[in-house]
Every structure is written in C-alpha cells, then in structure tokens.
C-alpha cells in the first residue's frame, strides 16, 4: 500500500509568530498558515481586531498577543515570554509596518525616527529575541516585509524606501550570521496590494489609475503575498536564505 504523500508546504507541529496580524497582509498570512496546519501566535496593538483575525484561523490552539512594537527594549523579553508559553517557534513573520509619504523638504526628524522604529528597528529587536536558544526550533526562519520601494525609488517615498531598504541589508547580514544556528532569514518585497492602504488612494481616481497601470498584472491581493511567505516558511524554502522574493505583478520590470 503506497504511503500517503505529505505536502512540503504542510506546517503540522509548527508554531509561527506573525506581527501586524490585525489587518491586511499580516492577517491573510496568518489565515493561510493556519490552513497549512501551523499554530499561530498573532500580535498587534488592537485587541478587537486581533480577535477578529483569530476567529478566522483554522485549527485550534492559536494565541493572540497584544503588544506595541514601539517598545523596542521590551521586544526580546516579550519574544522569550511567547516562546515560554507556546514552545520554540518555527518561524517569525514580521508583517507590521507603516507607510509614510512626504516630499523630502517637508520631512521631520520625528517622522524619520518614528518610521525607522516601526519598520526597521523593531525587526532588529525581534531577531535578537528570536535567535535566543529557547525561542526557535532547530530548523527555523524569519521573514521580513520589505517593499519594491526599498529596491527602486519613487517620489515622496524616500524615507519609507530607506526604511524598507534597511530590511534588505538586515536580512542579508542576519542570514550570514545565523546560518550556523540553522536560522534562515529572507525578505518579501511586495508592490501595491489591495488593502485598506490602497483604498485610500482610490479617493484620487487619476492617481489610482496611473498606479494601476504600473502593475502589468494588476494589483495583487493579500493572498498573493501570503503565498510567498508560506513558501519561504515551509520546507519548500529550506535552502533559501539571505534572499528577497519580489512579489509585485511586474511593477519593478516595467
């Protein structure tokens, strides 16, 4: 009798921490990973929205943790406390982030500090917590959410692009540093995806239409990006580290 075929995407027995899981791509990523049989720890700042995400997850045993990632010094301790509750983590997916649009002449020092704290510095401290020997499984990975704007410039997005470009460098260096511990580190670089953030641009029809034309395959969906995350987290990504997977509907190839 033939043995059952186990999908390399199956995450049975794996626990995955997803930040920014209260909405958008982070929420969709958590939902998808749960259908692949992962146990999820989801985090965000809004308890009600986190519970909405948890109600959408398949399976049982998922944990919702309200935490503000702007508390940088507390992040490593918090990651260790999560691992103490649920056991070592198979993966950490850092989907939390903020977008900031402003011509350089109007940028303030506080805006730069706040954005880098949210998009880049939090990733550094999450990695510090995750690499603690009690926090990860023997074969584990981290996925950071960068952006195509970290790879190619766009007017009025210089500060945002810089924060996302920083994640690319962080992932490459961490991949080299943590390979001996069998921790893989990669980035996802999406273009514009159909989320609440994109809905705000719809208020300016001409700008929205021009932006859509820059995506040869049209705007993506949160599931398009979540599929890429699942690929990197699962066994399918076991030989990939220090890489950036561009998921942009052709935006960077136009």
Instruction: For 164-184, write each residue's pLDDT tens digit.
Output: 999 999 999 999 999 999 999
**Sign of the torsion formed by the C-alpha atoms of 28, 111, 66 and 231:** positive
Q: Which residues are catalytic?
A: 160
201 pLDDT band, cuts 50/70/90, is confident
The per-residue pLDDT for 5 is 63
The stretches of 67-157 forming alpha helices (DSSP H) are 75-86, 109-116, 122-130
94 pLDDT band, cuts 50/70/90, is very high
204 pLDDT band, cuts 50/70/90, is confident
Q: Which domains, ranges and CATH numbers included, belong to the chain?
A: 15-249 (3.40.50.720)
42 in helix, strand or coil?
A: strand
Q: Is the pTM of this model over 0.85?
A: yes
Q: 143 vs 90, 129, 251, CA distance in Å?
A: 11, 14, 21
User: In terms of Cα–Cα distance, which of 38, 120, 106 is closest to 75?
Assistant: 120
Element at 168 (helix H, strand E): helix 158-178
Classify residue 66 by burial, with Cβ atoms within 10 Å: 0-12, 13-18, 19+. Answer: middle
Tell me what the mean pLDDT of segment 111-120 comes to: 95
């Amino acid at each position: 009798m033939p043995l059952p075929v186990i999908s390399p995407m199956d995450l049975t027995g794996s626990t995955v921490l997803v930040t920014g899981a209260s909405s958008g791509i982070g929420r969709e990523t958590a939902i998808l990973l749960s259908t692949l049989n992962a146990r999820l720890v989801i985090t965000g700042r809004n308890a009600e929205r986190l519970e909405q995400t948890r109600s959408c997850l398949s399976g049982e045993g998922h944990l919702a943790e309200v935490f503000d990632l702007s508390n940088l010094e507390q992040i490593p301790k918090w990651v260790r406390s999560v691992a103490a509750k649920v056991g070592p983590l198979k993966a950490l997916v850092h989907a939390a982030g903020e977008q900031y649009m402003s011509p350089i002449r109007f940028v303030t020092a506080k805006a730069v500090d706040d954005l880098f704290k949210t998009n880049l510095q939090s990733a550094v401290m999450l990695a510090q917590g995750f690499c603690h020997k009690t926090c990860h499984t023997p074969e584990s990975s981290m996925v950071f959410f960068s952006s195509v704007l970290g790879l190619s410039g766009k007017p009025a997005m210089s500060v945002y692009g810089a924060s996302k470009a920083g994640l690319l460098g962080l992932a490459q260096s961490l991949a080299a540093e943590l390979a001996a511990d069998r921790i893989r580190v990669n980035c996802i670089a999406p273009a514009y995806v159909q989320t609440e953030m994109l809905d705000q641009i719809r208020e300016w029809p001409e700008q929205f239409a021009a932006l859509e034309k820059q995506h040869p395959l049209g705007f993506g969906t949160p599931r398009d990006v979540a599929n890429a995350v699942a690929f990197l987290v699962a066994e399918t990504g076991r030989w990939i580290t220090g890489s950036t997977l561009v998921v942009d509907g052709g935006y960077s190839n136009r």
